[in-house]
Amino acid sequence: MLLTLSTTHQPATDLGFLLHKHPERLHEIEIPQGRALMFYPEASQERCTFALTLELDPVQLVRGSGQKGDSGLLDEYVNDRPYAVSSFLTVALGRALGTAFTGRSKDRQALADTAIPFEVVLTPLPVRGAEDLPERLFAPLGYEVQMERHALLPNQPSWGESPYITLSLKATKRLREVLEHIFVLIPVLDNRKHYFIGKEELEKLLRKGEQWLQTHPEKVLITERYLKHRKALVREALARLSDETPLENQADADRDLNQNLAELALEKPLNLNELRLETVTQVLCERGVQRILDLGCGEGRLLKRLLKEGQFKRVVGVDVSMRALEIAARRVHLDTLSEKQRERIELWQGALTYRDQRFAGFDAIALVEVIEHLELDRLAALERVVFEFARPKLVVLTTPNREFNTRFPNLVNGKLRHADHRFEWTRAEFQAWCERVASTYGYQVAISGIGETDPELGQVTQLGVFTK
C-alpha cells in the first residue's frame, strides 16, 4: 500500500522540513505488523512528493490479531491485508510523523502554520459497497476528490473491475490538517477491526478531530466506523463532540445528517425540534391512536418518542432514504429491543407519492416537516396516497411558516430554511391547501401552530390536524 503527499508550494522541498524527513534519505520504521519505508520519489523546487509504503507480514498479521476469522484458515493468510490501504497505514503514519501531527516544525514554523496546496494519493484502496464514501468523507472538508477504479487484471479488461481504487485528494490546507484528516478517515474507510479499540482510540479520535469533526456532516458515521461500532465508546464520543450534551439531545442535533444541518442551525435556539415532537405526540395521545404511520420518518426521532408511550401498539416509519432508515434503526435500538418491544415498531423503505397497500389500516398518519420536501407537482400524489387510499381517521401534518423566516437572523432574505425544501408556505397558503384537501377527501381540519409566536408573523411551525 502506498501513500503519497505532494506539494507545489515553492520551494517544494521545504516539505522535508515540515515532515522532519530529509528528502535525500530513505527512512524506515518498524511497526508490530511490519515495516514502513519513506522516501521522496520527486524533490524539486516546483514539486516535492513524500511517499510512504507499508510492508506487512501476513503471518504476523494473523498472529497479532488475536482473533480467528470465521471463514477458514486459508482466508486468514490469503487476503488483501498486506497490500491494501488499511488502518495499519495510520499506525505507521502516526509513528513516523509524530512531530508533524502536532503542527510544529523546527525550521519552518511559519510554513507549518500556512495553508499550502497538497495532493494526497492512497492506493490501492478497497471500496466495497459504499462507492461514494470517499466523496462523502473528504468533500465536506474541502477536498477535491478523484477516484480511479482498478481493473481486476490490467491486461484482461474483460475480467472487469476490482474492488480497489486509487484515491486522490487535493486541497490547500495546513499540513497538520491534512494529516489529521487522513489519520481519522483511513480507518473509517477501512471498516474492519484488527486491533483492540478502547478508550485510547476514543481520545485519539477526539484529539485529531478536534478542529473539524464536530461540524462534519458525516460525524456519526465517522465516529461509528472509527470506533468500530463499539457502542459505549461511540456514545461517549458523540456526546463529547456535542459539548457534553447527552446522546438523547445529540440525536436531535444529528437530525437528517446530510441535509438538515443548515435548517437546524437556524431553528435550534428555539428548541423547536423537541417542541414539535411533543406536540405531535400529544395530539396522537389525546385522540387515542394505537397504530401510527410516520411518513417521511427521516432519522426516527418521532418514532423514538412515540415508543415511550405504551399507548402506541404499532409504530411504523416510512422513508425513501435507506441511510435515514439506518440511523432511525439505530436510534430506536432496533436490533437490541426485547421481543415485545420489537413487535411494536417497523421501518419500511417506501415512497410517499405512490399508492402503497401497506399504508392502510392505521389509526393515524404523521407527516412532520415532510411535504415541503416534495415538488409541488408531486404533492397531489401524496394527497391521494394519504387521504384517498390510506384514509386514516387522523392526519397530523407540520410544515414551516414562511412568514416567520424573517425572524431568523442567519437566514438570507427570501431564502427557505433548508436547501432541500421545495417550497415553504405562508399561513394563508397553508390554510388554503388544508381546506381544499379536507373538503376534497371528506375531512375536517384544525389549523394551529407550534413554537414561538410573533404577533405579526404567526408561529414558527404550522400544524394541521385532519380528522374524519
One character per residue 422-441, x = contact with ligand SAH (rule: CB under 6 A): --------------------
Q: Is 255 in the site for ligand SAH (CB under 6 A)?
A: yes
Residue type at position 430:
F
d(CA 317, CA 295): 6
Pick between residue 179 and residue 370 the one whose CB is nearest to ligand SAH: 370
One character per residue 224-243, x = contact with ligand SAH (rule: CB under 6 A): --------------------
Contact criterion met (CB below 8 Å) for 309 and 285 = yes
∠ Cα 19 23 27 (to 5°):
75
Q: Is 214 in the site for ligand SAH (CB under 6 A)?
A: no
d(CA 199, CA 92): 20
Rule CB under 6 A: choose which of 352, 364, 397, 437 binds ligand SAH: 352
Q: Is 201 in the site for ligand SAH (CB under 6 A)?
A: no
Rule CB under 6 A: choose which of 351, 379, 416, 457 binds ligand SAH: 351
Contact criterion met (CB below 8 Å) for 195 and 157 = no
Count of residues in contact with ligand SAH, rule CB under 6 A = 18
Stretch that binds ligand SAH, among 145-153, 290-298, 331-339, 459-467 (CB under 6 A): 290-298
Pick between residue 318 and residue 437 the one whose CB is nearest to ligand SAH: 318
Stretch that binds ligand SAH, among 155-163, 188-196, 363-371, 433-441 (CB under 6 A): 363-371
Q: How many residues does the chain have?
A: 468
DSSP state of 337: S
Q: Which long-range contacts (CB under 8 A, 24 or more apart) does 36-45 make?
A: 36/92, 36/95, 36/96, 38/96, 40/15, 40/16, 41/4, 42/6, 43/12, 43/13, 43/15, 43/16, 44/12, 44/13, 45/10, 45/11, 45/12, 45/13
Rule CB under 6 A: choose which of 174, 181, 301, 421 binds ligand SAH: 301
The three-state secondary structure class of 49 is strand
Rule CB under 6 A: choose which of 21, 174, 228, 373 binds ligand SAH: 373
Contact criterion met (CB below 8 Å) for 264 and 255 = yes
φ, ψ (nearest 5 deg) of residue 42: -140, 140
∠ Cα 320 325 328 (to 5°):
140
Rule CB under 6 A: choose which of 34, 126, 296, 458 binds ligand SAH: 296
Q: Is 297 in the site for ligand SAH (CB under 6 A)?
A: yes
Give the shortest CB-133-to-ligand SAH separation in angstroms: 19
One character per residue 256-285, x = contact with ligand SAH (rule: CB under 6 A): x-----------------------------
φ, ψ (nearest 5 deg) of residue 9: -70, 130
Give the shortest CB-266-to-ligand SAH separation in angstroms: 15
The three-state secondary structure class of 55 is strand
Pick between residue 201 and residue 319 the one whose CB is nearest to ligand SAH: 319
Per DSSP bridges, beta strands 2-7 and 27-31 are unpaired
Rule CB under 6 A: choose which of 324, 386, 395, 437 binds ligand SAH: 324
Give the shortest CB-398-to-ligand SAH separation in angstroms: 8
Rule CB under 6 A: choose which of 53, 99, 321, 426 binds ligand SAH: 321
Give the shortest CB-420-to-ligand SAH separation in angstroms: 8
Give the shortest CB-369-to-ligand SAH separation in angstroms: 4
Contact criterion met (CB below 8 Å) for 451 and 261 = no
Give the shortest CB-461-to-ligand SAH separation in angstroms: 10
Residues 374-413 within binding reach of ligand SAH (CB under 6 A) = 374
Give the shortest CB-234-to-ligand SAH separation in angstroms: 21
Residue written as cell 457534553? 244
Give the shortest CB-278-to-ligand SAH separation in angstroms: 13
Pick between residue 174 and residue 255 the one whose CB is nearest to ligand SAH: 255
Rule CB under 6 A: choose which of 23, 82, 187, 298 binds ligand SAH: 298
Letter string b/e over residues 44-79, b meaning 16 or more CB atoms within 10 A of that residue's CB:
eeebbbbbbebebebeebbeeeeeeeeeeeeebeeb
The three-state secondary structure class of 166 is strand
Longest dimension (CA), the chain: 82
Give the shortest CB-374-to-ligand SAH separation in angstroms: 6
d(CA 447, CA 398): 10
Pick between residue 52 and residue 324 the one whose CB is nearest to ligand SAH: 324
φ, ψ (nearest 5 deg) of residue 430: -65, -45
By beta carbon distance, the residue nearest ligand SAH is 298
Q: Which residues bind ligand SAH (CB under 6 A)?
A: 255-256, 296-298, 301, 319-321, 324, 351-353, 368-370, 373-374
